[in-house]
């Protein structure tokens, strides 16, 4: 069953996966809270709701720590996964990803510069982090695309190598900026490893406008990406301007990446793993891929975060380490498949 080209069954499946991951994410931890108690507490917040079964300490743990962490994981996962899917569509490249294209490294450099020099610009530098990350992400993608196009004709291997080169350069620049702010070094290093446990509702509110704009534009671009997949000549014959479409989609995907990176740090491979899994499930239609990717991306990162904070409890692994362990073999598999197809 489909609506407007979107398989409703997979949308429902993604929503269920996100809901289940969210329930486990809220209840898991050193102080366990049952799913039934969580549900009854949420009902108690409604008018004429029953009394909450949670103690004051449990309620604070749920509402101020775990719930915002799960919401942040769902939002960041959706942003990174959908940006990855959009990059793959606009470049017609199965290996395109916010990290491989330099978007994440550029966003990281922009955010780091604000962390180090932001106090000299404004009394509240946190508000500048998503903006600086956005322009850094755009610069990274533009540099990787131009280098890949001029050096190797824009093929898969050329684009990947260009992205690696640009990411390495931006990472080096980021390290240089870090050394200029030694007093912020520990905070920046923890942020670079990626994580969801540092922020709260303030971070959710900070990125909400950027996340909303980025996701809405990307979801509305599914039909346009399907037209681009037919080739530029065919797209033009259908009344499409491929150059304008690419600029809009790249800008929206970079905004989504920047919003995610600005609050979660560098979390790799989400943008390549989730869209590929979704493509296997729903087919090659981007009107179907992108909305399902939003849900699956959120469910994926919330699940990974549960692993990161429980596998070595009471300690906690940086979430970027877990996604790297999962994503690196997946990337190798995709690369081998791409080479065998001669792309």
pLDDT of 296-314, one tens digit each? 999 999 999 999 888 887 7
CA of 105: how far to CAs of 166, 167, 276, 277, in Å? Answer: 8, 6, 22, 24
Of 266, 269, 323, the C-alpha closest to 109 is 266
Q: Given pLDDT bands bounded at 50, 70 and 90, which one contains residue 339?
A: low
pLDDT at position 150 = 80
pLDDT at position 238 = 85
Structure tokens at 307: 């692993």
Of 296, 222, 261, the C-alpha closest to 103 is 261
- Residue spans of the domains in the chain: they are 2-340
**C-alpha 329, offset from chain centre:** 19
pLDDT at position 4 = 52
Lowest mean pLDDT among 123-127, 152-156, 321-325, 333-337: 152-156
Residue 3's DSSP bridge partners are 6
Q: What sign results for the dihedral spanned by CA atoms 51, 20, 221, 131?
A: positive
Higher pLDDT, 171 or 335: 171
- Angle among Cα 203, 110, 158 to the nearest 5 degrees reads 120
**Interval 1-57: pLDDT, tens:** 555 556 788 899 999 999 999 999 988 776 778 778 888 887 787 777 677 888 888
- Look at the block and give the residue holding tokens 């590929």: 276
Q: How far apart are CA 98 and CA 87, in angstroms?
A: 8
- Arithmetic mean of pLDDT, 246-250: 91
Phi-psi region of 52 (alpha: psi -120 to 50; beta: other; left: phi over 0): beta
Structure tokens at 77: 């996962």
Of 34, 65, 70, the C-alpha closest to 52 is 34
Q: Is the pTM of this model over 0.85?
A: yes
102 touches 167 (CB < 8 A): yes
Of 207, 210, 139, 199, the C-alpha closest to 319 is 199
Lowest mean pLDDT among 4-8, 82-86, 169-173: 4-8
Q: How far apart are CA 24 and CA 28, in angstroms?
A: 6
Q: How far apart are CA 95 and CA 29, in angstroms?
A: 35
3-state SS, the chain, equals CEECCEEHHHHHHHHHHHHHHHHHHHHCCCCCCCHHHHHHHHHHCCCCCCCCCCCHHHHHHHHHHHHHHHHHHHHHHHHHHHHHHHHHHHHCCCCCCCCCCCHHHHHHHHHHHHHHHHHHCCCCHHHHHHHHHHHHHHHHHHHHHHHHHHHHCCCHHHHHHHHHHHHHHHHHHHHHHHHCCHHHHHHHHHHHCCCCCCCCHHHHHHHHHHHHHHHHHHHHCHHHHHHHCCCHHHHHHCCCCHHHHHHHHHHHHHHHHHHHHHHHCCCCCHHHHHHHHHHHHHCCCHHHHHHHHHHHHHHHHHHHHHHHHHCCCCCCCCHHHHHHHHHHHHHHHHHHHHHHCCC
3-state SS, 266-305, equals CCCCHHHHHHHHHHHHHCCCHHHHHHHHHHHHHHHHHHHH
Domain covering 2-340, topology: ABC transporter involved in vitamin B12 uptake, BtuC (1.10.3470)
- Look at the block and give the residue holding tokens 């971070």: 203
Q: How far apart are CA 283 and CA 7, in angstroms?
A: 10
pLDDT at position 154 = 56
């Amino acid at each position: 069953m489909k609506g407007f080209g979107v398989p409703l069954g997979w949308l429902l499946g993604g929503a269920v996966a996100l809901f289940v991951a969210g329930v486990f994410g809220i209840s898991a931890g050193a102080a366990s809270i049952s799913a039934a108690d969580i549900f009854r507490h949420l009902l108690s917040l409604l008018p004429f709701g029953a009394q909450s079964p949670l103690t004051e300490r449990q309620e604070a743990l749920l509402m101020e720590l775990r719930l915002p962490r799960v919401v942040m994981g769902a939002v960041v996962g959706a942003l990174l996964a959908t940006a990855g899917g959009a990059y793959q569509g606009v470049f017609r490249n199965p290996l395109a990803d916010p990290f491989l294209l330099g978007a994440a490294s550029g966003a990281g450099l922009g955010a780091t510069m604000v962390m180090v020099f932001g106090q000299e610009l404004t009394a509240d530098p946190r508000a500048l982090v998503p903006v600086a990350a956005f322009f850094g992400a755009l610069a990274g993608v533009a540099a990787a695309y131009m280098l890949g196009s001029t050096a190797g004709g824009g093929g898969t291997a050329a684009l990947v190598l260009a992205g690696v080169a640009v990411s390495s350069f931006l990472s080096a620049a980021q390290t240089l900026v870090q050394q200029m702010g030694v007093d912020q070094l520990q905070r920046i290093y923890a942020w670079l490893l990626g994580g969801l446990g540092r922020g709260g509702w303030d971070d959710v509110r900070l990125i909400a406008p950027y996340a909303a704009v980025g996701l809405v534009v990307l979801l509305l671009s599914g039909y346009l990406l399907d037209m681009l997949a037919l080739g530029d000549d065919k797209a033009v014959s259908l009344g499409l301007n491929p150059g304008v479409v690419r600029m809009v989609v790249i800008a929206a995907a970079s905004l989504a990446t920047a919003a995610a990176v600005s609050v979660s740090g560098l979390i790799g491979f989400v943008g390549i793993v989730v869209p590929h899994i979704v493509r296997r499930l729903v087919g090659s239609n981007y009107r179907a891929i992108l909305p399902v990717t939003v849900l699956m991306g959120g469910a994926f990162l919330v699940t990974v975060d549960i692993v990161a904070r429980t596998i070595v409890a009471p300690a906690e692994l940086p979430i970027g380490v877990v996604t790297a362990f999962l994503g690196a073999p997946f990337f190798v598999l995709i690369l081998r498949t791409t080479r065998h197809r001669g792309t």
